[in-house]
Amino acid sequence: MIDKLLLKTVIIFSFIIGAGLGIIPLIPAFIWLAFLLLTLFVAPFMLIYLKHLEFIKEYNMEQILTVGAISGFFSCLGFALLYFPIAFILQLIFKIQSFIWIKVLFTNIGFLIPMVILTALISALTNAFSAFLTSYFLFFNQNKGNK
């Protein structure tokens, strides 16, 4: 079971990372880079950072997968909460053609919310898998040094 302090730390750091990644795609050429970082690399960064802070002392697979899924989900929500309103405002002010789809999403708010939740669930799944791979390689390297 994951303790409450670790859970709060993961949620807060994930929101901050997601909000930081929400600034990158405001330059339209980097939207795919931000999406790739958001869906695959938030959990490995979070695990390495939490291991450095000594919140994670030993590798419990349930804890690793939970941290990966929670960090993926909440980073995607933090991304959406920052990126969509700023991109909508930029599209209204500057009429940027690459943000025209955001104006359509905001006029259909009933589509925007399920889309964000579905993307957050996909991000949680992929980040849980990348957290699993990261913990496997970290645990493998840790045990390799003990032999």
| Per-residue pLDDT at 123 | 97
Count of structural domains, the chain: 1
For the cut 80, the answer to whether the pLDDT of residue 85 exceeds it is: yes
- pTM of the prediction? 0.89
| Per-residue pLDDT at 94 | 85
Range of the domain at 53: 4-146
Mean local confidence (pLDDT), 117-128? 96
For the cut 70, the answer to whether the pLDDT of residue 103 exceeds it is: yes
Long-range contacts of residues 8-12, Cβ cutoff 8 Å, at least 24 apart = 9/50, 9/55, 10/46, 10/50, 10/67, 10/70, 10/71, 10/74, 11/70, 11/74
Convert the pLDDT of each residue in 18-50 to its tens digit.
Answer: 999 999 988 888 889 999 999 999 999 999 999
